[in-house]
Structures are given as structure tokens and as C-alpha cells.
Amino acid sequence: MVRNGTANGTAARSQAAEIDRLKRRLDRERLARREAEAIAERTTRGLYDEVAARTRELECIVDMGRELAQSLDDRGFADLIASHIARAVGFDECGIFAWDKIQDTVVTAGYHPAARRSALIDVYPLDDYPETRRVLMSGQRSITDPADPTADSSEVSFLLGMGGKLMIQLPMNVGGRTIGTVELISLSGQMLSDRQIDLAQSMASEAGVMLENARLYAEVRHQAFHDHLTGLPNRALLGDRMEHALARGRAPKLPLVGLVFVDVDDFKVINDSHGHEVGDRALIAISQRLQQLVRSGDTVARFSGDEFAILIEDLESPEDAHLAARRVVRAFQKPLTVAGREITMSVSVGVDVGNALSTTPEDLVRNADFAMYIAKASGKSQHEVYQASARAAADDGAKMRSDLRGAVRRGELRLHYQPIIELRSGRIRSFEALIRWQHPERGLLSPAAFIPTAEATGAIIGIGDWVLETACKQLRAWQELEPELAVSVNLSGSQLHDGHVIEHVASILDRTGLDPRTLILEMTETILVADPGAERVLRELQNLGVRLAIDDFGTGYASISYLRRFAVDILKIDREFTDAVDTAEGTALLGGITQLGRSLGLELVAEGIERPRQAELVRNAGCDLGQGFLFARPAPPEDAAALLRPGGLPIQASSITS
């Protein structure tokens, strides 16, 4: 029993122990389950918070990036960065400072709140802020707490000056370089968590990239709109400013805008005589002098090379622009000091004025430029106001110039021939070749209408060649009938000056086989006097055997000395003397000239004979040859040829010698 009892007792005890053991096991499992659930909850919540915090941080960065990307060229760019960073970490104030390595300073770029910006100065020398320098050099953050006795005193006084109690300086790191700092200031003295500091650091570096982009953008834009040498606005920016200046205001109060166009007279000479480096420095000095002349709102631009333009906005009256132009001309009457030497120069200035209704930027430039040309043409160091009538005339001239360039090529030039008659026999001695231009729009033009333009543009050389060639070929053909016949061709001053005419005449004589004596070259006495080099050319021509005639003799210098010096063969007496021949005085004058000519062994031709009586008087005065409407007008070659046939001349020598 006892044993049983004991056995039972043992069994009961072991059963109880077993239950106990199982209970403990159950408790353990229950406890473990609860703990696992609690851990799972904590973990889930923690992950959720983490994700939410990370998302918010990313949003801060993304929002800032997005907003900054849209305002890359705004002045408040850095203010925007500051406000984003301050708000992201919940700090009161935030400054953005750009590192100027050359000046060894930081420059205040932006601040939040923007209204507090005035508490800052623009530039902080790094010598005064060693802690800021450390942040920039090391790329490591720094925390300034005034309560910390080891805190840098200059940073502390800056912080206290801003009314702050704690400052965190973060480096703006861009691709391994530090370009500035972000300084977070707490007014309450609260500290940021490591996490917040990391966020601010991420944003600072992100902002650094954007700031760097903004700086590059500004730099590129500045380069695109400014002249590299002088730093002045360039033509593109000038155009833009003109556009804006004209577009401001509304009718009837449209602003009056003036453009002063400035061109340095003979700038090439400065470059040639002093070298391009001095030339460049002169341009800089010129740009500076121009800038001193204008109000702050006006634009001095470098238009091109040695051309500058001044845009004057909001003129009271057009006269103000004219006064400005005069000031510019005067300003350059004082020499310019360039690279230690004084350089004397002058400028030619043109002005045009208008408002949005009357002009466009393009017109302003064109007209002011044109007026400048007029000023230059009228003797340099002048100013000229644009006038539409001058433009119209110039436009005609321009059209004439471009038409004339192609006239020879297009075969629009003609030669008409007027005979020169032996007054005694009535025989045709020679023909004077006279040029005409069969203009496609304006009809047949006389030389007066286009030769001055041809002279001015140099087209005269080509035209002169053509005339010589054509006249000589024509003469060669006529000489089949009249072997003694001669032709006279007019030479211009440029042809004589050029000297090329010698070669050309030689070549024509050679090709046509003409007797050189039958080619007469006519020129006015003015040309001979004006060009000292003409003498050599004339001698060469005479060596070829051709004869020389002085045209319109008596209207200019009527100098005997050059008649002798140039060994002239023929004297053509101006029509003025023919006209006056029926007066006693006129007869005496003509007589004097013919006597003079004869004594020099010259042939004499009276020009402009229109009436038989004139022909008679001229012949009586001792002049053997005559030319004029009385005998024939200048005519195309086929009509002129008809004159050579017997009875071809409408008026016979017999009628003169009545």
C-alpha cells in the first residue's frame, strides 16, 4: 500500500511535475508569441515611419530641384535654396554663401527669410572667419554653439549678431569640390538630429550643383550678349534693348528712342602704326570714354570692330540725341591715353531717333549707320542726323552702282560717234567716241548720269577698257574706206592714275594693227593738274605713238606750261569760246588761244559749233577743225558711217566758206 501509495504518490508527483512543466512550456510559448507580435508591430511602425521620413526628405530635395530648375536665371535663386533648406529641417534662418577663391572671401548669395538679408554684409573675408575657411577647405560640417568655450569667436559674434543661438555650417560639395557653405541658424538654440543634418547636407550639395549650373548659365549668357574685349553689350543685346525700349509705354505716350552710331575714323591706322595689342587697348579706352558720356540707363554697345552704338532711352526730344552725338564727337577731340602713349583720334557719329510707330530697331541701326557715313564723307570728326531725303538719294546711287557693275557684262553700253570736221574742206578728220548706257529701265543715259558713279566705284576702269577696245575696232573697220580717219577716246582720271591703260592701249594697237597716230586720247586739263603721276603715264602713251588731246581747254587752268610739258598734240577749245565768238571780245579771245596753240604746233578744234556763222568765225580766227551739232550729233556707228559716204554730211564745207 505504502509502496503502492508511494508509487501512486510518485506517479502523482511526476504527473503534477509534468503538468507543471507543460504549463511552463505553454507560458513560455505565450510570452514568446506576445513578444514576437510586439516586435512585429514595432518593426512595422518603425519601417512605416522610416519610409514616411525618407519620402518627405526626398520630396524636399525634389521640390527644391524642381523649383530651382524653373528659376535658374532669377535673382532670388539662392534665397530660394535657403528657404527650401530652412523649411526642410525646420530651422529659423538659413544663409547661402559662395566661395570666391581668388578674393579669399565668401559672398552672401541668398538668405531665408529674405527680409533678414539686410542684416548681412555682401562679402566676408575668410581671414576673419577661420572656421568657415575650415569648412570650405575640409568639406566637413561645423557647429557653432556660443555656450561652448572653445567655439570660434568670430563665428560666435556673427551668430550673436544675427540673433541666433546655434549655427550649423555645411559645405556645398559639388563633384568633389566645395563651392560654398550653407549656414543654418537657430534662434531658439534647438539642435538638429543627425538625420536632419544629413538631409540639410544632401540639400546643400544638391543646391550647390544648381548654384554652379546657375553660375555657368549666367556666364554663358553674359558671354553670348557681351563683347569679350570691352565687356560692353554686343550687337545682339543692343538689338534686344532697342526692342524693349521701343516696346515700353503706350500710344500716345510712346517713348522716344535714339541711336547714336559711332565709328572711329581711320582706326586701321592705329592698328597699323601701334600694333593690334595697342589697338585692342584703344578700343577698351574708347568704350570707357563712351560710357562716361551716357546716363546709367543708356546702353553703350560694341557694334562691330571699331563701331560702337549708344542707345538713349526716354528722350525728351530728338534734339537731346543730337546733343549727345555732338558730345561724343567733342569727347574724342581730346587724345586718348593708351598704354602710356597719347593717341589722337576722331570719331564720326550718326544719329537717328524714333518711337515704336515710326521706326524699328533695324531701321534705327540702318539710319544711324547711314548718317554716320554721311558724317564721315563730309570730313570726319563730324556728327550727322539722319534725313530720309539723303537716304533716298543714296539709295538711288546704290542701285546705280549695282546696275553699273553688270552693264559691261550685259552689253548695255554703247558708243556714239561725233565727227570732227576740217573746216576748210568739210572732210571728216576724225570721230570722237562718246559713251552711252542703254539702261534697261531708264533708257539711254548720257555719261553725266553715270560716269561720276563709275569713277567713284572704280567701275570706270572696266568701262574705259571697253570703250578703247570698241572704238579702236570700229576705227579699224572704217579705215577700210578712209585710211587716214582717226578716233578720239576720253580718258578718265582713274584710268590715267591706274597706269594699266598703257598696257591696254599697247595691246589693242597690237591686236588691231592700227596706226597709233590715228588714236587720240582726250583728257581734261583738270585731270593733268590733279594727278602728278599722270605725267609718267602720258609719256608712256606717247611712246606708243598715240596722240594726246586736251578737252574743254580754257575752262580750267589754261596753263601753257603743262601744254609744253606734256607735249600735247591737239587742243580742243571749249564751247564757251565758240558761243562767244560773235562778240568782238570773244573773237579776240579765240584768236589769242589759236595763236598760242599754233605757236606750240598744236592742232586746234573748236567745240560746240551749232551755227554756220560760228563755223566761219572760228575758221577765220585760225582754228582748222570744228565739232558740233551743225555738222552732226553723236550717232550710233552705222549712222556715223553714213556720214563718211560722199554727200553724207548734211552741211557741206562750201556753205561754210561762203
Q: Choose, by CB under 8 A, the member of 29, 128, 484, 510 that binds another protein.
A: 29
φ, ψ dihedrals at 582, nearest 5°: -85, 5
Name the nearest CA neighbour of 190 among 145, 156, 158. 145
How many angstroms separate the Cα of 520 from the Cα of each of 313, 540, 559, 605?
A: 63, 14, 21, 13
> Is 137 one of the binding residues for another protein (CB under 8 A)?
no
Spell out the residues 6+ positions from residue 327 whose beta carbon is closer than 8 angstroms to its own.
293
Cβ-based nearer residue to another protein, 29 or 266: 29
Q: Which three cell numbers mark 509?
A: 594697237
Q: How many residues bind another protein (CB under 8 A)?
A: 14
Residues 79 and 112 sit within 8 Å (Cβ to Cβ):
yes
Cβ-based nearer residue to another protein, 40 or 339: 40
> Is 510 one of the binding residues for another protein (CB under 8 A)?
no
Q: Which three cell numbers mark 349?
A: 557719329
Spell out the residues 6+ positions from residue 277 whose beta carbon is closer than 8 angstroms to its own.
339
Tell me how far apart the alpha carbons of residues 654 and 658 are, in angstroms, rounded to a whole number. Answer: 6
> Is 32 one of the binding residues for another protein (CB under 8 A)?
yes
Cβ-based nearer residue to another protein, 31 or 69: 31
Closest approach, Cβ 222 to another protein, in A, equals 51
Spell out the residues 6+ positions from residue 310 whose beta carbon is closer than 8 angstroms to its own.
259, 260, 262, 290, 293, 294, 298, 299, 300, 301, 324, 328
Number of other CB atoms surrounding residue 87 within 10 Å: 14
Q: Which stretch binds another protein (CB under 8 A): 3-11, 27-35, 71-79, 171-179?
A: 27-35
Cβ-based nearer residue to another protein, 51 or 393: 51
Closest approach, Cβ 193 to another protein, in A, equals 19
Cβ-based nearer residue to another protein, 50 or 127: 50
Q: Choose, by CB under 8 A, the member of 13, 23, 33, 101 that binds another protein.
A: 33
Q: Choose, by CB under 8 A, the member of 13, 25, 244, 330 that binds another protein.
A: 25
Cβ-based nearer residue to another protein, 12 or 39: 39
Cβ-based nearer residue to another protein, 45 or 564: 45
Tell me how far apart the alpha carbons of residues 632 and 432 are, in angstroms, rounded to a whole number. Answer: 11
Cβ-based nearer residue to another protein, 29 or 272: 29
> Is 24 one of the binding residues for another protein (CB under 8 A)?
yes
CA 647, 651, 657, 658 torsion: positive or negative?
Answer: positive
Closest approach, Cβ 10 to another protein, in A, equals 17
Tell me how far apart the alpha carbons of residues 134 and 426 are, in angstroms, rounded to a whole number. Answer: 112
> Is 39 one of the binding residues for another protein (CB under 8 A)?
yes
> Is 317 one of the binding residues for another protein (CB under 8 A)?
no
Closest approach, Cβ 46 to another protein, in A, equals 8
Which class for 176: exposed (0-12), middle (13-18), buried (19 or more C-beta within 10 A)? exposed
Closest approach, Cβ 56 to another protein, in A, equals 21
> Is 28 one of the binding residues for another protein (CB under 8 A)?
yes
> Is 40 one of the binding residues for another protein (CB under 8 A)?
yes
Number of other CB atoms surrounding residue 49 within 10 Å: 10
SS3 499: coil
Q: Choose, by CB under 8 A, the member of 7, 11, 12, 21 that binds another protein.
A: 21
Tell me how far apart the alpha carbons of residues 572 and 604 are, in angstroms, rounded to a whole number. Answer: 6
Number of other CB atoms surrounding residue 104 within 10 Å: 11
Cβ-based nearer residue to another protein, 45 or 177: 45
Q: Which stretch binds another protein (CB under 8 A): 29-37, 406-414, 544-552, 586-594?
A: 29-37
Cβ-based nearer residue to another protein, 41 or 148: 41
> Is 36 one of the binding residues for another protein (CB under 8 A)?
yes
Closest approach, Cβ 11 to another protein, in A, equals 17
Cβ-based nearer residue to another protein, 34 or 424: 34
Binding residues for another protein restricted to 81-120, rule: CB under 8 A? none
Closest approach, Cβ 1 to another protein, in A, equals 31
Give the up-direction half-sphere exposure of residue 184: CA atoms within 13 A in the CB hemisphere: 32
Cβ-based nearer residue to another protein, 31 or 62: 31
How many angstroms separate the Cα of 210 from the Cα of each of 206, 520, 568?
A: 7, 82, 85
> Is 53 one of the binding residues for another protein (CB under 8 A)?
no
Name the nearest CA neighbour of 165 among 149, 144, 183. 144
> Is 11 one of the binding residues for another protein (CB under 8 A)?
no
> Is 45 one of the binding residues for another protein (CB under 8 A)?
no
Strand blocks (E) in 452-610: 486-490, 519-524, 547-553, 570-573, 603-606
Cβ-based nearer residue to another protein, 39 or 392: 39
Closest approach, Cβ 16 to another protein, in A, equals 15
Closest approach, Cβ 115 to another protein, in A, equals 46
Q: Which three cell numbers mark 601?
A: 604746233
Spell out the residues 6+ positions from residue 304 whose beta carbon is closer than 8 angstroms to its own.
235
Closest approach, Cβ 88 to another protein, in A, equals 26
Tell me how far apart the alpha carbons of residues 570 and 605 are, in angstroms, rounded to a whole number. Answer: 7
> Is 52 one of the binding residues for another protein (CB under 8 A)?
no
Closest approach, Cβ 41 to another protein, in A, equals 10
Residues 423 and 479 sit within 8 Å (Cβ to Cβ):
no
Closest approach, Cβ 202 to another protein, in A, equals 23
Distance of CA 155 to the CA centre of its chain: 52
Cβ-based nearer residue to another protein, 27 or 582: 27
Q: Which stretch binds another protein (CB under 8 A): 23-31, 322-330, 445-453, 576-584?
A: 23-31
Closest approach, Cβ 39 to another protein, in A, equals 4
Question: Where on the chain is the footprint of another protein (CB under 8 A)?
Answer: 21, 24-25, 27-29, 31-33, 35-36, 39-40, 43
